[in-house]
């Protein structure tokens, strides 16, 4: 019985670390369209993605952040609107 409980715990931990199937630009769309103003600063996109997906929250590398920045700069559907009222961005 102990080994069965151990297997279940290992399965739950492994399940959290599965990479999401959607490409990075889908995560960006979900974040921006889910915001009130439908525009976000880069750090807000990062925060929203880490709240939605355990994989990114538990990631030990910043490779996924590079993918987000790359998609924001390459895809024409994302438009940089300038600095925020606070002067950031």
Q: What are the DSSP calls for 66-77, one per residue?
A: HHHHHHHHH-TT
- Per-residue pLDDT at 85: 73
| Sequence-ordered alpha helix ranges (H) in the chain | 2-16, 24-34, 42-52, 54-57, 63-74
Tell me 32's DSSP state. Answer: H
pLDDT in tens for each of the 89 residues of the chain? Answer: 455 555 555 555 555 567 788 889 999 999 999 999 999 999 999 999 999 988 898 888 889 999 999 999 999 989 888 776 776 65
- Identify whether the C-beta of residue 77 lies closer than 8 Å to the C-beta of residue 23: no
- Per-residue pLDDT at 19: 77
The rounded radius of gyration (Å) of the Cα atoms in the chain is 17
- Per-residue pLDDT at 72: 94
Strands (E), 1-89: none
- Per-residue pLDDT at 60: 85
């Amino acid at each position: 019985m102990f080994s069965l409980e151990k297997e279940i715990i290992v399965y739950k931990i492994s399940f959290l670390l599965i990479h999401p199937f959607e490409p990075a630009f889908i995560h960006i769309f979900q974040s921006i369209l889910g915001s009130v103003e439908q525009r976000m600063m880069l750090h807000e996109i990062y925060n929203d993605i880490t709240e939605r997906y355990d994989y990114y929250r538990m990631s030990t590398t910043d490779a996924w952040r590079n993918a987000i920045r790359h998609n924001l700069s390459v895809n024409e559907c994302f438009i940089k609107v300038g600095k925020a009222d606070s002067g950031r961005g």
